[in-house]
Structure 1
Amino acid sequence: METLRQWILALDSVLGSAAYFPYLLLGTGLFFTLYLGFPQIRYFNHAWKVVRGKGKYDHSKLEGDTSHFQALSTALSGTVGTGNIGGVAFAIFLGGPAALFWMWMTAFFGMTTKFVEVTLSHKYRVKTTDGTMAGGPMYFMDRRLNMRWLAIIFAIATVISSFGTGSLPQMNNIAQGMEATFGIDPWVTGGVLAILLALVILGGIKRIAAVTSRVVPLMAVLYVIGALAVIAYNIENLVPSFVSVFKDAFTGSAAVGGFLGASFAYAFNRGVNRGLFSNEAGQGSAPIAHASAKADEPVSEGMVSILEPFIDTIIICTLTGMVILSSGVWTDKHSNVFDRSDMTFVSGQYTDSDQADREQLGRFLNGQDSEVTAFNGTLLINKGRNMSGDATLLAARSVAENVMYRAGGVPYDGVLEVKNGRLITPMQDGEPLAITVRGDSLVHSARLTTIAFKQGYFGDYGQYIVSIGLLLFAFSTAIAWSYYGDRAIIYLVGIRGVMPYRVFYVAGFFWAAVADTSLVWDLAAVAIVLMTIPNLFGLLMLSKEMKQTVKDYWQKQEP
């Protein structure tokens, strides 16, 4: 698994984590925002009228599979998921408050990007042999740009991303939340939800739309109530939390508490990446759901999509961010079992109570020049405690404390080998010996949000809101992404490939219940960008057509 993660991180270094990617994503949104005259502002009210589907916007008799509202709900169910609960927490964990600012920027410009990609995808959708509609960027790449090679690349990336975005991180976070809150074994959670997922997705888009149009509003209301209960309880910290977001936006977040700080470049990159994971604007996924809508005007469906990044990121992600920041738990260390991928041993003894140590450790974690180096050598463990004084364990980007090593549920005695800062699994009688490492460190993803929700008027009961919200959010996201994947399969190999794909999708969903959390998030980051880059290229190629299409739409509207 460690080798696989290193390979994924190497791929990510030239894709999502590369310096150019945030500029490409935000730059495309900025270009279309200026080129189309700020449609996310000018067309905002019109978008609400369309989604309500009354009067001349009622397209129930037109060709398509879903209403505007159902298409919006399906697309929202694909975006409102772990990115809103675990993703925001992960962004703040990596980049501090500054990361939330860049999530906002991604959403604001993403409203325009999504407007463009949905409009063009709806315009070039097709009817499949089973009578349902199929659309998405692969169709305008093929039918309009005559770039079938690019369409194939995008479709393959969509299938990969359906696992990396829709199946694996969703199930992983659900299982993590259910185990932390209710003590339910991840295998049990994975098995039950995999069966439920299969029952829903086998019914196709109409059943998917029927389920998501009911689940999405319910889960949003429940989550908002829980978040406001925490924010109100910590109301004195609300203004300072907002100030920290803007204050650190162009400088990076300074070290505070167990958090070792984040440079501007790191916070900017992580914020944009987590923003993309949350609202998917520019990724090309939502257009696949909107292509099913009953409408004869592609622009009208594009209008509906403007609302998605606003609801997903500007509202829900902001609530999560303020809960985490105002509660203060993001800088506190909590007792937990460390994921191997979160652990790094460095040479020498360091403490986060020393300012010089904090600065050097922060630079090391942010990929900057630092005196800190990865440790290579052996650790002498006696009764679960490290007796060697030449190494410091960093867990979840913080200095680990009260560390205990266990094997088979009892304190470990023996020697452990470390290479390039990574713990090597020891062998016993020819078999790998499972070593668990527990201690106090920062936490991230759903665990951090769960802890934050306990710091409000609901007290410990707040964690149940996160667990139930996470269950509904993530499960509905997995449902929506199964549809995105099977539309891509239809483009690649036809209807015959849909059923085998769904079987593999459900199997992956089940496996993710016990997978390494950081590995899953790393895979998600790569999968997203594999879709996004070819999609943005296609959108920019059709910028003139998009502008003319919008102009034609308004000419048809009555004054």
Structure 2
Amino acid sequence: MEQIMALNGFINGIVWGPPILVLIVGTGLFLSLKTGFFSLTKLGYILKNTLFKMFAKDSKGEGEVTAFQAVATALAATVGTGNIAGVATAIALGGPGAIFWMWLAAILGMTTKFAEVVLAVKFREKTEDGRFIGGPMYYITKGLGWKWLAVLFAIFGALAAFGIGNMVQSNSVAAALQSSFNINPWVTGVVLAVVTALVIVGGIKRIGAFTEKLVPFMAAIYILGGLAIVIMNIAHVPAAIGLIFSSAFTGHAAVGGFTGAVLAQAIRYGIARGVFTNEAGLGSSPIAHAAATTDHPVRQGLWAVFEVFADTLVICSITALAIITSGVWQGGLSGAALTTEAFNVSLPGGGYIVSIGIVMFAFSTIVGWEYYGERCAEYLFGPKVNMIYRIIWVPFVVIGAIGGLEFVWDLADTLNGLMAIPNLIGVVALSGTVFALTKEFFTKENLK
């Protein structure tokens, strides 16, 4: 087992080396510059047409689920343990400066995910049984004709789902429940597996109906708890923000170390965990958005911007500030244990909020990512594989619950990186289509 972990760590270091980080950040910067950073300049318009229309049922156009059900499914898969354990891990390994790089990855990632979703809706397909399917494998194939690249993405996506969307999530749930309530990881794994099976058997419509109810509820509980802690430590917030910015360029690890290496860790873990939390560039969320009922690809793309904004710039920031202002980030803890300690120190019983948050966040991610992996498998083998994929998916929930945290996280990072490469190549190659559709939409909406 030690040899396997060492090999996986070595491969992970290669996958998440400078080339992939440059590709992720570079793609986001390129798309942001070409669209005039519209995700920031038009943020008010975007929130007006997403956040404030969250429960509207008057979606126009074709699709399987409402626009919000699609984004709820995407958020269910996106808002997971990365928002709790991932942020804490980034701080523990890269210092507070990692949060700056996480923010930067999110700001640029808003446009990247926008482009992904626009392409997913533009090139989606309608199956004989009336389902709408899409994602990187379809826009790479139909938009570029590069079948080989689409197949690579589908292979990596079908496999990555078992890491980021399955084992990492059940592992964090098991650790949280064992720490807070002394529940055996085996019990947690089996219960999670059974409930997961009950939800995913109904496909995207049942998943969408489930997530549109769960996502707002789970986010509200965690955000309110986190905000309470930040408010209680409000006097330390300016210093915490200052530390985040200063450490981003000088390096300041939780346990010390060589400055150059620490700075590199801050950049690496900040961007890697940022991608892990909001999934911009991975090509995962567009798979859910492709099923949305909408009259224009860009209209659904606005939900993608909101998705990253809510996930990283709101929820992850609350977690980061709660950890740093509480002063526990230098105590040697990592992952969910660090976030739990921050909540417990600042708010009596606050650890229970983290435990409940992890359970809800992780379960929703397990459900959402099953759909992603299944669509990738369907692209490779046809619809007959769907039920087989679901049957295989369920036992891995149990395996993740009893697996080692370090190995599972490294495996998830590795598979994420491999998944992002073909997707980002496709997005950049098809960026002209994104720019043309964006200009067409905003001209029609009378927005410059």
Give TM-score scaled by structure 1 length: 0.77
2:417 is aligned to 529
- In structure 2, give the amino acid aligned to 1:507: P
1:484 is aligned to 372
Of residues 104-113 and 545-554 in structure 1, the stretch that sits farther from structure 2 once superposed is 545-554
Q: Distance in 2 between matches of 1:242 and 1:48?
A: 25
1:496 to 366, 384, 409: 384
- In structure 1, give the amino acid aligned to 2:333: V
Structure 2 residue 46 is the aligned partner of structure 1 residue 9:
no
1:475 is aligned to 363
Of residues 123-132 and 58-67 in structure 1, the stretch that sits farther from structure 2 once superposed is 58-67
- In structure 1, give the amino acid aligned to 2:219: A
Tell me, which stretches of 5 or more residues in structure 1 are unaligned?
333-441
TM-aligned CA deviation for residue 527 of structure 1: 1.0
Of residues 85-94 and 259-268 in structure 1, the stretch that sits farther from structure 2 once superposed is 259-268
CA distance 1:53–1:125, shift in 2 (3 Å): farther
- In structure 1, give the amino acid aligned to 2:9: L
Q: Which has the higher relative contact order, 1 or 2, with Cα contacts under 8 A spaced 6 or more apart?
A: 2
Deviations 1:448-494 (A, max 9, x none): 111111012x31x1111000011001100111000101111111111
Q: Distance in 2 between matches of 1:507 and 1:492?
A: 22
2:402 to 514, 519, 523: 514
- C-alpha contact (below 8 Å) 1:259/1:331 kept by paired residues: no
Q: Distance in 2 between matches of 1:59 and 1:161?
A: 35
Structure 1 outlier segments of 4+, above 4 Å = 258-262
Identity of aligned residues (%): 45
TM-aligned CA deviation for residue 318 of structure 1: 0.6
When Rg is computed on C-alpha atoms for both structures, the one with the higher figure is 1
- C-alpha contact (below 8 Å) 1:50/1:68 kept by paired residues: no
Deviations 1:45-65 (A, max 9, x none): 3323433696xx965453211
1:270 is aligned to 269
Q: Distance in 2 between matches of 1:43 and 1:292?
A: 25
**What aligned pairs does 1:14-163 form with structure 2 within 5 A after superposition?**
14-16=14-16, 18-51=17-50, 60=59, 62-163=61-162
1:281 is aligned to 280
- C-alpha contact (below 8 Å) 1:11/1:526 kept by paired residues: yes
1:453 is aligned to 343
Q: Distance in 1 between matches of 2:404 and 2:417?
A: 21
Of residues 33-42 and 259-268 in structure 1, the stretch that sits farther from structure 2 once superposed is 259-268
Q: Which has the higher strand share?
A: 1
TM-aligned CA deviation for residue 260 of structure 1: 4.5
2:445 is aligned to 557
Q: Distance in 1 between matches of 2:410 and 2:5?
A: 7
TM-aligned CA deviation for residue 523 of structure 1: 0.5
- In structure 2, give the amino acid aligned to 1:9: G
Q: Distance in 1 between matches of 2:49 and 2:417?
A: 31
Structure 2 residue 345 is the aligned partner of structure 1 residue 463:
no
Q: Distance in 1 between matches of 2:442 and 2:268?
A: 37
Q: Distance in 2 between matches of 1:207 and 1:514?
A: 28
TM-aligned CA deviation for residue 526 of structure 1: 0.5
Q: Distance in 2 between matches of 1:51 and 1:501?
A: 33
Give TM-score scaled by structure 2 length: 0.96
- In structure 1, give the amino acid aligned to 2:133: A
CA distance 1:200–1:116, shift in 2 (3 Å): same
TM-aligned CA deviation for residue 189 of structure 1: 0.6
Structure 2 residue 432 is the aligned partner of structure 1 residue 544:
yes
Tell me, which stretches of 5 or more residues in structure 2 are unaligned?
none
